Structure 1
Amino acid sequence: MAAVAPPLKTAVVTGTASPAGIGRACARAFVRAGYQVLGVDKMRLQDSEPDEALVARYKHTMLDISRPEEAGFVPAACEKNFGSQTVHVLINNAGIADPHMPTQAEAAVQHWRVVIDTNLTGAFLMSLNVLPHMPAGQAAIVHVSATRAHQSEPHTEAYAAAKAGLLGLAHAQAVSLARKVRVNTVLPGWIDTSGDPSSLSAADHAWHPAGRVGRPEDVAQLCLFLADGERAGFITGQEFVVDGGVSKKMVYPEEGEGEAAVGGAAPAPPPPPTSDDERPPVVWPDAPVCLHYSYSSGW
């Protein structure tokens, strides 16, 4: 008698409508690794997926994850499409990508609510509804945050707060769900989701110590690794930056930037000493000194 194949593991991935996005790359990676995948997005699929393996084991459902009543439908969608409500992996990737807030107060408040509801509360609601259906000791959640959780441009308060909130959500869940579900966060930097790599310049790639702008597959492969209990079973509550090394670069003001900030010409820096004899003596203060270095790369 032929052996019966074990049922496929199920992964739920949010934010999968765009063919060039991180969510779709995650769906492809998990299908190729042997999972069946439920994609969740408030939008319809924006293309005809050419990957036959993905078409065979991928199902798409339209839900707004920021609404509790819709996020609560995910287990039923799994049962409808796969015959079981069991979920082994949850990738919380969906989010509003535009980080910039309007400056008018009323519009800023509305922007804040929409971004927080989708990018942060949506991940919480998805976790809340999927957790009862995750097998203890065999499941994983990965939240997709961003390097903007640690760095900011002006007027990005809602996006930065939501992405930073995912870090707190992840380590709190990792402790609350200890020995049951592993929870980690990935923080992508500049990932090209345009679908047109030719739009990137040589300078765009050269800015990265890794030598290129990131691809959705870079994030997807890390999510796949973190979901694997055999390879990543000792990893939980952690955050992983995927930015080609950019966040480790020291960034200095561009010419004229300091001048604009102070509203006038910035004082010229003193010339560097030409010998040790010209260096001023080091005077140590009585109290300890805290040195703080800051930088911003803008993603």
Structure 2
Amino acid sequence: MKTMSNKRVFVTGGSQGIGRGIVEAFVAAGAKVAFCDACEPDSSFPLSENCLFFKADVTDVTALTEIVEQLFADWEDIDILINNVGIGGFSPLTEMTVKQFDRIIATNLRPAFITSRLWALHRSKMEVLPSYGRIINMSSTRYLMSEPGSEGYAASKGGIVSLTHALALSLSEFHITVNCISPGWIQTKEYDSLTEADHEQHPSGRVGKPDDIARACLFLCDQDNNFINGQNLVIDGGMTKKMIYV
């Protein structure tokens, strides 16, 4: 994988799980990374001058906007935007309130629109337009498959897939490609506690890890991979291709 040296990266929801894996992968590849999260990163997180943290609730439009605009002021532009932040919010349909549903949409879907729009506005004012730009939005295999009580999450992740191909067209004039990733089962902690059955049900023979998603992000952000645009990359060990009857 080519280096990400001198690339300026902003990741939402980067303190833990898949987001943390993405942040660490880009830092290791030489990028300058900023990330936001409602939760503080733990003491083991490698914060440095090349890895900046902003505490923010992404449902707060003003707070998210201020972070992005601060990065534009400090960095002049960004090169890579990864809209990763997300919450589950699973609840029986008869118990879920409209307020809870709106909270999921405001966390998982709306920030991707806000950050992408801000970047478009910023580049529209630049006298010399950069030739490189990447957006990766985090969806889920639940955009196409569900279980009871997942209405809010499924709606938000389906929205991410649709928003992605719309943004790919709108942002092409600014030399920004837009793709999304739909992870399947990605175990973010206590991987050793998984059972043999957990792994064996996957055609790939194992449950996924955050690094699986981080490597895909690095691939999509490669300088030469600008012909991949508007796509949804499913990374699930083959599970969505597996026919299951009970």
In the superposition, the TM-score normalised over structure 1's length comes to 0.74
Deviations 1:47-85 (A, max 9, x none): 322x5xx635100001222222111112343257xx324
Given the alignment of the two structures, is residue 43 of structure 1 paired with residue 39 of structure 2, yes or no? Answer: yes
User: What residue number does 1:175 align with?
Assistant: 169
SS at match of 2:75: coil
Provide the C-alpha distance between the structure 1 equivalents of 2:76 and 2:104, rounded to a whole number of angstroms.
29
The residue identity in structure 2 corresponding to 1:123 is A
Given the alignment of the two structures, is residue 210 of structure 1 paired with residue 204 of structure 2, yes or no? Answer: yes
Provide the C-alpha distance between the structure 2 equivalents of 1:103 and 1:150, rounded to a whole number of angstroms.
18
User: What residue number does 1:237 align with?
Assistant: 230
Provide the C-alpha distance between the structure 1 equivalents of 2:102 and 2:147, rounded to a whole number of angstroms.
19
Which ranges of structure 1 fall in alignment gaps of 5 or more residues?
1-6, 254-299
Between 1 and 2, higher relative CO (CA 8 Å, sep ≥ 6) is seen in: 2
Provide the C-alpha distance between the structure 2 equivalents of 1:37 and 1:133, rounded to a whole number of angstroms.
19
The residue identity in structure 1 corresponding to 2:15 is A
User: What residue number does 1:127 align with?
Assistant: 116
Alpha-carbon distance change, 43 to 85 in structure 1, aligned in 2, over 3 angstroms:
farther
User: What residue number does 2:126 align with?
Assistant: none
SS at match of 2:82: strand
| 2:6–2:31 contact (8 Å) kept in structure 1 | yes
Query: 5 Å matches for 1:15-164?
Result: 15-18=13-16, 21-49=17-45, 51=46, 55-78=48-71, 83-98=74-89, 100-104=90-94, 107-133=96-122, 136-164=130-158
| Cα drift, residue 133 of structure 1 | 4.0
| 2:120–2:171 contact (8 Å) kept in structure 1 | no
Identity, % of aligned positions: 39
Deviations 1:75-120 (A, max 9, x none): 343257xx3241100000001134x224345x43122110011100
Q: Which has the larger radius of gyration?
A: 1
Report how many aligned residue pairs link the two structures.
Answer: 236
Q: What is the aligned-residue RMSD (CA, Å)?
A: 1.8
User: What residue number does 2:245 align with?
Assistant: 252
SS at match of 2:172: coil
| Cα drift, residue 129 of structure 1 | 2.1
| Cα drift, residue 131 of structure 1 | 3.2
| Cα drift, residue 12 of structure 1 | 0.3
User: What residue number does 1:287 align with?
Assistant: none
